């Protein structure tokens, strides 16, 4: 084999190895990505089925229910238009409170509730994840636009 052919074979082998590594990295990133979905999006059927995603909004006042074991919790996340029941087994963050912002990561259960594997609370009164703030703002704007529609008279 000539020197030129050896160089071409080396370059081809290196490109193949780089391609395999890139495919493995992209596959790992794609399987670990968690999209943000609002309760309205879930209600409208835009939630991924069988895949983990994040749901966020405000914890509805009076919705927190603790089971007797002390670590199983159910609460409602709202974007002020639609609500989603979340079930979580674990210790909640110290800043978790009703009426405050929350982001939960998990999957949809067969019964239509959200099974959270992780719950994150906002760290101060001025912060809300951009996606959650946008969803709450969009929901409030849609509700206001619906209220402003003239009523039909018959």
Residue 151, pLDDT > 50, answer no
Query: For residue 58, with 0-12 CB atoms within 10 Å meaning exposed, 13-18 middle and 19 or more buried, which class applies?
Result: buried
Q: What CATH number does the domain located at 34-146 have? A: 2.40.50.140
Of the CA atoms within 13 Å of residue 78, those in its CB half-sphere come to 16
User: So what's the pLDDT on residue 128?
Assistant: 61
Pairing of strands 53-59, 72-78: antiparallel
DSSP 8-state class, residue 123: S
User: So what's the pLDDT on residue 148?
Assistant: 54
Tell which residue, 39, 41, 42, 113, has the closest CA to residue 73: 113
Write out pLDDT tens, residues 13-43. 999 999 999 999 988 887 667 677 888 888 8
Write out pLDDT tens, residues 94-125. 888 888 888 899 998 888 889 999 998 865 55
Tell which residue, 143, 121, 142, has the closest CA to residue 132: 121
Predicted structure pTM score: 0.63
Give the C-alpha separation, 11 to 113, whole Å: 53
Residues forming a β-bridge with 75:
86
């Amino acid at each position: 084999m000539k020197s030129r052919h050896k160089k071409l074979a080396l370059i081809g082998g290196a490109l193949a190895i780089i391609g395999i590594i890139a495919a493995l990295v992209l596959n790992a990133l794609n399987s670990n990505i968690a999209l943000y979905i609002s309760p309205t999006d879930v209600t409208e059927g835009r939630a991924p089925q069988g895949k983990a995603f994040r749901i966020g909004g405000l914890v509805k006042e009076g919705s927190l229910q603790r089971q007797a074991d002390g670590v199983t919790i159910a609460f409602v996340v709202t974007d002020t238009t639609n609500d989603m029941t979340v079930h979580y087994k674990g210790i909640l963050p110290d800043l978790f409170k009703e009426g405050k912002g929350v982001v939960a990561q998990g999957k949809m259960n067969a019964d239509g509730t959200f099974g959270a594997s992780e719950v994150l609370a906002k760290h101060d009164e001025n912060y809300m994840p951009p996606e959650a703030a946008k969803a709450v703002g969009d929901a409030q704007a849609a509700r206001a636009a619906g209220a402003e529609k003239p009523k039909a008279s018959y």
